[in-house]
Amino acid sequence: MTPRETRRARSRRQPDSGVRQLPRQQFVNHIKPVEFVSEDELEAIHTASLRVLSEHGVEFVLPEAREILKAGGADVRPGESMVRFDPQVIEEHIKLAPSSFRLFGRSPAYDLDIGGNHICFGTVSSTPNVTTLEGRRSGTMDDFCRFLKLSQRVNVAHNIAGHVVEPVDVPVPLRHLRTAHATLTMTEMSFRVFSLSRQRVLDVLEMSRLARGQTVEQMREAPGVFTSINPNSPRQYDEAMLWGMIECARVGQPVFVMPFALAGAMAPASLAGAMTLQNAEALAGIAFTQMVAPGTPVIYGGFISNMDMKSGSPAFGTPEAVKTTLIGGQLARRYGLPYRASGANASNVVDAQAIYESQMSLWASILGGANYVYHALGWLEGGLASSFEKFIIDAEMIQALTQVMQPVLINAEELAVEAIGSVPPAGHFLESPHTLDRYQDAFYTPFLSDWRNYEAWEAAGAATTNERAARIAEELIDGYEQPAMKPEDRAALDEFVARRVEQGGAPVQ
């Protein structure tokens, strides 16, 4: 959108809520990514990664995957799960992946362009707990559904990054069926398929197809789910993740290859070394997807943080994580691939630490040129808890940052030389025609921040940001309405799930 269009869009109010968000939209990041390391330094990381792949290799545990790798030209040795790659095998396969693709919602407003300078934000995923203003407890299916409702209603929540919270009360063999059913029927967003076993992946792929009334060919043309793979760093793709990559690639659903490692634990304690490992793992995984099916949409992911070397705790939103996020973006651009980064923090509650670490993550993502920011809404406690309040605070922070990315309009009218001349020294512009033309939508209006003076704020109850966020979350959830689904699609989906539940679901591999 042009700045003028953004302004106009901004002034449209959602009729059904007092919470005035920016309209649901795809954002373009006009800030040129930060080139944190020099071209030579970037090349040194690239070359080191290729040396890791050719000299040391990556383990692919699944024999069927090794067959594919062998056929693709990788160095697969009999009786050995370690696979080595000549640099040109990597380079020629990486080139087959598209530089951008579209991930489809169940309605066009939820479609996402992934690549170029588009940026979108996904929810938190995979946390076992929920933290509220009252404390922390295990996640339930009820919480899961409340987070889905909130996601559907928060306009900068672009898609569902997986289990917005883990519904611990649903038996594991049935969990993927219940959560995918809820996500498909309660939201219109694309979402993540967990690659935890081949059967679970096949179930969810089929559910996504049925819910959209697609043929397999249509599914390939309009992917609605994706998988996100964190190899077992260092240097291992296990059976479940390889089946997930294979099955998703076969039906054209995007594969996010996203090594997640803490420098000092699963990766070297040097950032250059951690990036070398990340890049080697990502390149091997992405090359593999292209051997399965050339042209499979992929995302190059980066999520290197560091360990607290004193306590062994994982840390997020650190200076080191900012730098690896920036360098990861440079690598992704070098390979012409879309880039995924993450919003994250390590705080146990929604306090100052949670916010400053999240801001570090978000700024790094934006400056790194990320196309998709995972865990961007609701993440707490290093990924062990989801928070409704944090979800709203993150939405506010993301909204503001999407406005930072928009260019400033510079032309004679905006430069305002005459308007400036018409206001006397030490006067004011409040009644200037130049101001009156613009005052309604000149600036971004937050939905969460309270800009009243202390006295007015105190008289109104002195609510902190967390308290306001909790109220907003309640209001949005209360106002949720289930989106439509074609009755025949819904019937096919329900029938499939009923059958698979009757069969006992799918045990985790």
- Ranges within 296-335 binding its own copies (CB under 8 A): 306-311, 313-315, 318-320, 322-323, 327
**Which ranges of 270-379 would DSSP assign to H, the alpha helix?**
271-292, 319-334, 352-367
Phi, psi (deg, nearest 5) at residue 135:
140, -160
Radius of gyration in angstroms for the set of CA atoms belonging to the chain, rounded to a whole number: 24
- Those residues with Cβ within 8 angstroms of residue 342's Cβ, 6 or more apart along the chain or in another chain: 303, 325, 361, 365, 373, 374, 375, 376
Answer for the pair 122, 164: CB distance below 8 angstroms, yes or no: no
**Which residue, among 427, 350, 428, 437, has the nearest Cα to 396 in the 3D structure?**
350
Q: Does 447 bind its own copies (CB under 8 A)?
A: no
Please work out the total of residues on this chain that contact its own copies, with binding judged by CB under 8 A: 124
Q: Indicate the residue type of 139.
A: G
Q: Does 166 bind its own copies (CB under 8 A)?
A: no
Q: Does 136 bind its own copies (CB under 8 A)?
A: yes
- Pick the closer one to its own copies by CB: 208 or 387: 387
| Shortest Å distance, C-beta 352 to its own copies | 4
- Pick the closer one to its own copies by CB: 26 or 445: 445
| Sheet containing 236-237: order of strands | 75-76, 82-84, 58-60, 236-237
Q: Does 350 bind its own copies (CB under 8 A)?
A: yes
Give burial (CB, 10 Å; 0-12/13-18/19+) of 461: exposed
Q: Does 248 bind its own copies (CB under 8 A)?
A: no
**Of the candidate residues 444, 447, 474, 479, the single one contacting its own copies (CB under 8 A):** 444
Q: Does 438 bind its own copies (CB under 8 A)?
A: yes
Burial 261-283 (b: 16+ CB within 10 A, else e): bbbbbbbbeebbbbbbbbbbbbb
Q: Does 1 bind its own copies (CB under 8 A)?
A: no
- Pick the closer one to its own copies by CB: 180 or 262: 262
Please, which of residues 176-195 interact with its own copies by CB under 8 A? none
| Shortest Å distance, C-beta 448 to its own copies | 7
Give burial (CB, 10 Å; 0-12/13-18/19+) of 424: exposed
- Pick the closer one to its own copies by CB: 228 or 347: 347
Answer for the pair 114, 366: CB distance below 8 angstroms, yes or no: no
From CA 45, how far away is CA 70, in angstroms rounded? 26
- Pick the closer one to its own copies by CB: 308 or 478: 308
Q: Indicate the residue type of 216.
A: V
**Of the candidate residues 111, 143, 247, 396, the single one contacting its own copies (CB under 8 A):** 396
- Pick the closer one to its own copies by CB: 44 or 501: 44
| Shortest Å distance, C-beta 164 to its own copies | 19
Q: Does 452 bind its own copies (CB under 8 A)?
A: yes
**Of the candidate residues 154, 182, 271, 298, the single one contacting its own copies (CB under 8 A):** 271
Q: Does 19 bind its own copies (CB under 8 A)?
A: no
Binding string, residues 398-417; x marks residues near its own copies by CB under 8 A: --xx-xx-xxxxxx-xxxxx
Please, which of residues 483-502 interact with its own copies by CB under 8 A? none
387: left (phi over 0), alpha (psi -120 to 50) or beta: beta
| Shortest Å distance, C-beta 85 to its own copies | 14
Q: Does 23 bind its own copies (CB under 8 A)?
A: no
| Shortest Å distance, C-beta 73 to its own copies | 21
- Pick the closer one to its own copies by CB: 27 or 496: 27
Of 178-186, 215-223, 276-284, 491-499, the window that binds its own copies (rule: CB under 8 A) is 276-284
Answer for the pair 22, 10: CB distance below 8 angstroms, yes or no: yes
Structure letter (DSSP) for residue 67: H
| Sheet containing 314-315: order of strands | 260-263, 303-307, 314-315
| Shortest Å distance, C-beta 132 to its own copies | 14
Q: Does 381 bind its own copies (CB under 8 A)?
A: yes
From CA 416, how far away is CA 394, in angstroms rounded? 35
**Which residue, among 254, 284, 278, has the nearest Cα to 72 in the 3D structure?**
284
Which residue's structure tokens are 């992704």?
332
| Shortest Å distance, C-beta 114 to its own copies | 24
From CA 398, how far away is CA 372, in angstroms rounded? 12
| Shortest Å distance, C-beta 201 to its own copies | 21
Q: Does 471 bind its own copies (CB under 8 A)?
A: no
| Sheet containing 379-380: order of strands | 135-138, 129-132, 385-387, 379-380
Of 65-73, 154-162, 266-274, 329-337, the window that binds its own copies (rule: CB under 8 A) is 266-274
| Shortest Å distance, C-beta 13 to its own copies | 13
Q: Does 361 bind its own copies (CB under 8 A)?
A: no
| Shortest Å distance, C-beta 375 to its own copies | 17
Please, which of residues 184-243 interact with its own copies by CB under 8 A? 232-236, 238
